[in-house]
Structure 1
Amino acid sequence: MIGKGHSIASTEASIDYGWNQEKDAEVVFRDHLAGETPKEIIEEFKIIQSQNERCTQNTLSFILSPTVKDGQEMSKAQLKEITSRFLKEMELKNRQTIAFVHRDKAHTHVHVYVNRIGFDGKAYNDSFIGKRSQIAADNVGKELGLTRVREVQQEKLKELNWQRLAIKHINNKVMETRPKSLDEYISKMKACNVQVVPSINKSNQLQGFRFEYKGVNLKGSEVHRSMTGSKLIGEISQNASYSRLREVPKHLRLIDKTVRISSNMAAKIAKDLVKQVIKRGLDTGMGMGY
């Protein structure tokens, strides 16, 4: 089961969408709410939210998605149980909550809306809420014996094993030529029939790469752990330096424009640099007690 979550300001539009009858919406969970229509529930949310006007993104929105097979077999009671357990994992019990199941597609999924403002007027801490949602949904899936996203991903990677090996082999050959820029690396991979697609967010931050080969599209980490964005950037940046790379680059030239490195990627590059320093120290006999 997959979980996604974020804070939103558009409470009214979101709950209206959740209760969309064209999607065969059905309420599967509610808590601390008396309203029977979207408008009534939104008004109840607003009463509590008025205690904390500084918080503008005052509603939490989650999507819980069992696998297609698991979802097809789930009753309303089972979906209610999943939602309840997920809220407990997220420490969101005893808050105004409404959840709807959508069965308009083959993939059954639940939309959950929680008032971020508690009855005490305090806002729920939404730091890393996306990642925490994934972990909470995975824990619930494990508890209930559902198919977990990790299992689905592992099965998918097994099925694509020969493509992964081919992409890794081509990458190794290209890296042996010591490309000194991302553009050079991307160009050489393309010449070997591998399309490298940068993942750049709305803030112009580079977050990683995807690799397209023979109709398959995979993240670098899905091909091999040595092909994550941080690993590739660290190695290519090292190729471009006359001396060993000592600090994390903040910007890179990519496809005729400058992009920033995301903080998450920068932290991983920094970690790799520390490992390199330690390894060089050990290789030269430092820190060995002599």
Structure 2
Amino acid sequence: MGITKAKSVKGSLQAEQYKSQEIKESVFLHQNKMTGETPEERWDEMRTISELNARIQNPFIENVISPPEQYTQNFTDKDWTDLAKNYAEKMGYNENQWDAYLHKNTDNPHIHLSVNRVGTEGKTTINDSFIGQKSQKVMQEISRERGWKNAQELTEDKKAEHKTALLYAMQDSTSWQEVEKKLNS
């Protein structure tokens, strides 16, 4: 299962520009209910809609979606886009503006997805209560659907692997130095 984070934020042009930085090896994946072609244009569209509701303090939700590397090492940009769309749908974002970027500059590529909580009618259409927990549950559901193991299962697999290696190294060894030598090889 991947790691996801979601939190309500005020949002800013700088945050939108951060997601698109070349140094992040950024790839624009998708936008929903927007027509802008640049981060600045998309931000302007989202800000304009969010200003329809002056009472909301944090009109945006920033999401980070980071699946385990072993499941995404052969992902294409289309696979990443499909994951972003699947996540957004399950989070209930499809009636709102959102955009997604992929960052490839880390050992574990990840998606940044920004959502406008304010709908085109000026009403807050996405409740941010427990949004982080909801995000984790959605990622668990996506992981199950894709046959991905969760963190606990991956840890158990690693422990079993280490135990097997240790038992093998202990076979026919007469000292801990021999065990250590076998483990290192």
In the superposition, the TM-score normalised over structure 2's length comes to: 0.80
Cα pair 1:8 1:60 within 8 Å, conserved: yes
Q: CA deviation at 1:145?
A: 2.3
Q: Of the two structures, which has the highest relative contact order with CA contacts closer than 8 Å and spacing of 6 or more?
A: 2
Query: 1:145 pairs with 147, 152, 160, which one?
Result: 147
Equivalent runs, 1:45-194 vs 2, <5 Å: 45-123=46-124, 124-156=126-158
Amino acid in structure 2 at the alignment position of 1:142: R
Q: CA deviation at 1:117?
A: 0.8
Report Cα offsets for 1:114-143 as digits up to 9, x if no partner.
Answer: 111112222221011111101101111211
Report Cα offsets for 1:169-225 as digits up to 9, x if no partner.
Answer: xxxxxxxxxxxxxxxxxxxxxxxxxxxxxxxxxxxxxxxxxxxxxxxxxxxxxxxxx
Please give the secondary structure, in 1, of the residue aligned with 2:57: coil
Cα pair 1:31 1:98 within 8 Å, conserved: yes
Amino acid in structure 2 at the alignment position of 1:130: G
Amino acid in structure 2 at the alignment position of 1:104: N
Please give the secondary structure, in 1, of the residue aligned with 2:111: strand
1:273 corresponds in structure 2 to none
1:14 corresponds in structure 2 to 15
Report Cα offsets for 1:69-121 as digits up to 9, x if no partner.
Answer: 22221111111111111112111112111100011012111000011111222
Distance 2:89 2:151 in 1: 20
Q: CA deviation at 1:160?
A: 8.2
Distance 1:49 1:141, change over 3 A: same
Distance 1:36 1:53, change over 3 A: same
1:42 corresponds in structure 2 to 43
2:173 corresponds in structure 1 to none
Cα pair 1:11 1:59 within 8 Å, conserved: no
Cα pair 1:138 1:149 within 8 Å, conserved: no
Amino acid in structure 2 at the alignment position of 1:81: D
Q: Identity over aligned residues, as a percent?
A: 26
1:214 corresponds in structure 2 to none
Root mean square deviation of aligned Cα: 1.8
Q: CA deviation at 1:157?
A: 5.9
Distance 2:43 2:149 in 1: 34
Distance 1:36 1:152, change over 3 A: same
In the superposition, the TM-score normalised over structure 1's length comes to: 0.52
Aligned residues: 161
Distance 1:37 1:152, change over 3 A: same
Segments of structure 1 that go 5 or more residues without pairing to the other structure are 162-290
Q: CA deviation at 1:53?
A: 0.9
